[in-house]
Amino acid sequence: MHGSDTQREFDGSTVVVTGAGSGMGRVEARLLAARGATVWVTDVDGDAATAVADEIGHAGADARVARLDVTSAQSWNDLADAIGGDPVVGLVNNAGVSHRYGILDTTLEDWERVLAVNLSSVFLGMKTVAPLMTGGGSIVNISSIAGMLGYFAAGYGATKWGVRGLSKVGALEFAERGVRVNSVHPGLVDTPLLNSGSDVFVDESLRAVPAGRVASSEEVAEVVAFLLSPRSGYVSGTEIVVDGGLTSGGIYHRITSDLASARS
Ligand SMILES: NC(=O)c1ccc[n+]([C@@H]2O[C@H](COP(=O)([O-])OP(=O)(O)OC[C@H]3O[C@@H](n4cnc5c(N)ncnc54)[C@H](O)[C@@H]3O)[C@@H](O)[C@H]2O)c1
């Protein structure tokens, strides 16, 4: 497939992106709009969503904006009302929060907050938007490598595994509507969320990334665009990991690198 074939692949399509005011969501919204989609740029931070919608508009592409709190059924219903009768072709459930604490250090309040933002959001998003996909469509749920392996963060790990499982439920349930559902599992991506914690965490994690670097948001957005497009027409109910090789055995990358530096 040549670049030119994908350039306007979303012409005439309406797509919803959650958490689009920052990080990966912002880049996904911009990329999809640049390829012809009318993108609903949504975020709980309404000003951030408006700023991204403005950026898209200034670039000559098409964006709508809505303040959407993904944890609120009412907020999702308001979005559906705002979309009106337009058939929706794509949904990216991207909004999420980080929380790097184990079971013993996680309060029930934090557990419930992370569950609401990272997992109930995906349930509500699919429940609200799948019925609007009257001509078929594709849903991409953003999980994480934390949904591929054992992870040290209780709420984050549990929700990202939950997103992976719920995506498969959606893939089975919505197939008869012509709607595909898949999950994307980024590793370390250069966004405000990644950089909200300690540098030591990122630096130490990078030692286990065979690619030797973090991903750009654009590299994840390309995978999202592929999954939303007809190019992936027979891909449903599966995971795409975008992690520079981390979960393929990054521990051995770290060990062999350490041994090589000890020898030199
Ligand atoms: N950055 C990484 O390294 C990384 C790795 C794996 C997975 N992820 C996942 O990718 C997704 C995007 O992460 P990011 O790094 O771009 O984060 P980010 O913090 O840059 O952006 C997240 C956005 O979600 C919004 N948001 C938070 N709570 C919300 C709510 N209740 N309703 C609506 N929007 C809400 C925020 O306002 C923000 O704009 C998340 O699901 C995250 O778990 C990130």
What pLDDT digit, counting tens, does each position of 193-233 carry?
Answer: 888 777 888 899 999 999 999 999 999 999 999 999 999 99
What's the Cα-to-Cα distance from 244 to each of 44, 123, 132, rounded to whole Å? 30, 29, 35
Q: How does residue 4 score in pLDDT terms, banded at 50, 70 and 90?
A: low
Q: Residue 10 and residue 226: Cα distance in Å, rounded? A: 11
Residue 27 CA to residue 249 CA, distance in Å, equals 29
Name the CATH code of domain 3-198+214-249 (choices 3.40.50.1970, 3.50.50.60, 3.40.50.720, 3.40.50.300). Answer: 3.40.50.720
From residue 261, alpha-carbon distances to 190, 212, 250 in Å are 27, 15, 17
Q: Are strands 14-17 and 90-93 parallel, antiparallel or unpaired?
A: parallel
Would you list the domain boundaries of the chain?
Answer: 3-198+214-249
Q: How far is CA 75 from CA 18, 39, 67, 105, 123, in A?
A: 12, 18, 8, 31, 14
Mean pLDDT of the chain: 96
Strand order in the sheet with 239-242: 62-67, 38-43, 14-17, 90-93, 137-142, 179-186, 239-242
Token look-up 């059924």 returns 73
Is 117:205 a contact under the CB 8 Å cutoff?
Answer: no
Going by alpha carbons, the residue nearest to atom 23 of ligand 1 is 19
Does residue 5 surpass a pLDDT of 80? no
The closest of 139, 238, 121, 115 to 185, measured between CA atoms, is 238
> Which residue has the CA at smallest separation from atom 7 of ligand 1?
144
Beta-carbon contacts of residue 4 (< 8 Å; ≥ 6 apart): none
> Does the annotation mark 252 as catalytic?
no
The string of pLDDT tens digits covering residues 154-188 is 999 999 999 999 999 999 999 999 999 999 999 99
Ligand 1 centroid from CA 192, angstroms: 8
Ligand 1 centroid – CA 55 distance (Å): 19
- Would the pLDDT of 1 be above 50? no
